[in-house]
Structure 1
Amino acid sequence: MFRLDGTKALIIGVANDQSIAWGCARALHAQGAEVALTYLNDKAEPHVRGLADQVGAKIVMPLDVRKPDQTQALLDEIGARWGRLDTLVHSIAFAPRDDLHGRVVDSSAEGFALAMDISVHSFLRMIRLSEPLMDRGGTCMTVSFLGASRVVENYSIMGPVKAALEAAVRYAAAELGPKGISVHALSPGPLQTRAASGLAEFDALLSDAAARAPTHHLATIEDVGAYAAFLASREAFNVTGGVHPIDGGYSIVG
């Protein structure tokens, strides 16, 4: 029904073949988009380059969003090689272990600020740097979770952080809509990724989600990727500012 032939997509957050970002990269590529991938550090590079080969990614660069020089170098390379950017997928989040495993009211100022910087403000920074390359319009996506709007046991500090991320999506969508740039938050239900495995009692959360979701199926990275590919298409040009549940209906049950 839709194709992404000729479009250019930057995918941030691929760590391995279980990453949500990888599901998005694979789906966008399957629909015809040319993709660029990033890797966090030297340890991650071999894993990401192996996946990059599978989707024919010619741009594969390091990106630690705490390092402005790496961020600028990435967008400079995209500008030089492609001359434009159609789709940005931001799928990174972080909180220090002690803050993630503790009470929200006990979170450290330093840990809270770091979680907000990496998980939220880095998305805004990436949008700002991508904006000049989206002079013909574009799509920016990030990844949230139900814990942004509802208390999810053991989600802890990431709940307020994801709530801020969803608010940032709405404001960015309002500001960039006149330029034809849409902004979205993808909100998959619990699924097995390396990042999610850092949450306490995560296996119990997976079991509960599968039992309570109307479809009785957990979300997969393929589900998220398919939805992301649609949002990146011309057919979705008039959709923006939303938080999109991809969870088998888990978010509608009490």
Structure 2
Amino acid sequence: MGLFDGKKGVVFGIANERSIAWAITQQLFAQGAEIGFTHLPDKDPERPKNANKVKKLVEPLGAKFVVPCDVQKDEDLDAVFAKITEQFGKIDFVLHSIAFAPPADLTQEVYKCSRAGFSLSMDISVYSLIAMCGRAKAIMNPGGSILTLTYLGGEKVIPGYNLMGLCKSALESSVEYIASEMGADGVRVNALSAGPVRTISASGVGDFKKMLTLYETFSPLRRNITEEEVGKSGMFLLSDMSGGITGETLHVDCGYHVMGGPPLDAFGNKAEASE
């Protein structure tokens, strides 16, 4: 038997095969979950690139539905949750994997970001989770789990992460408040903070290759994470195995977040490091 036999849920935010949400989805399917999906609406219905990318991944595994959703539109979110209710009735999990900042605002110093860019980034990256939780509350089974994705840049300054760091900080605070509010109904809310993974979002972060080298050099395990490790950790947080965990940000980064400085052997052997 799988951990998700008889469990139903929805995944927001798969962009392609490199998405962290896709790594988690594969583990959910492997454990028997029934899942519906959303995709970013296509500008040209005659050329549904976004829909096709998601369908190509999830339909062979048995997706129950794949529908468009612009998280900035309440009518889109209402339509998605109406579809969820129609298809499943009650659900057991929601995976939120959505973030965006305008490149012009993301690639420059935080103090230079525009008012419009700040508002847009917070709306898509943070308020979308709040809006989903409000709609999911009425159809979540007791013991249900909501999971979002974050990054260390929401806790500490990561050069190049810039405006998205502010968004992730707000997102993690939202997780704690909503976990408190939904806990009485038996619903858990958590965040997964993964190390660097080659996703579309990561491509917008400056010096991403240097970031990979830093993780391999500085982390206690002396390596970076794998997509499979992140996928399994996300599946764990959505499963009954994590039934006592809520309001948590789980770091899956080979321990990088605990380091206050480089290991003694980061730049050679210990003798050399002490000289």
- Provide the TM-score with structure 1 as the length reference: 0.97
Partners of 1:9 and 1:86 within 8 A in 2? yes
Query: What is the CA RMSD across the aligned residues, in angstroms?
Result: 1.3
| Alignment match, 2:264 | none
Sequence identity (%): 40
| Alignment match, 2:235 | 229
**1:67-216 equivalence runs, <5 A:** 67-216=73-222
| Alignment match, 1:52 | 58
Q: Distance in 2 between matches of 1:210 and 1:64?
A: 36
Q: Distance in 2 between matches of 1:109 and 1:183?
A: 29
- TM-aligned CA deviation for residue 199 of structure 1: 1.0
Q: Distance in 2 between matches of 1:105 and 1:173?
A: 31
Runs of 4+ off more than 3 Å: none
| Alignment match, 2:30 | 30
- TM-aligned CA deviation for residue 237 of structure 1: 1.5
Q: Distance in 1 between matches of 2:224 and 2:128?
A: 28
| Alignment match, 2:271 | none
In structure 2, list runs of 5 or more residues that go unmatched.
43-48, 261-275
- 3-state SS of 2:142 partner: coil
Partners of 1:2 and 1:230 within 8 A in 2? no
- 113-122 or 190-199: which moved more? 190-199
Instruction: Provide Cα deviations, 1:155-207, integer angstroms capped at 9, x if missing partner.
Output: 11111111100000000001111110000010001111111111111111111
Partners of 2:16 and 2:22 within 8 A in 1? yes
- 95-104 or 134-143: which moved more? 134-143
Q: Distance in 1 between matches of 2:141 and 2:38?
A: 23
Q: Distance in 2 between matches of 1:217 and 1:66?
A: 37
| Alignment match, 1:61 | 67
Q: Distance in 2 between matches of 1:176 and 1:92?
A: 21
- Specify whether residues 100 and 252 from structure 1 end up closer, same or farther in structure 2 by C-alpha distance, changes over 3 A only: same
- TM-aligned CA deviation for residue 235 of structure 1: 2.5
Partners of 2:143 and 2:240 within 8 A in 1? no
Structure whose alpha-carbon radius of gyration is higher: 2
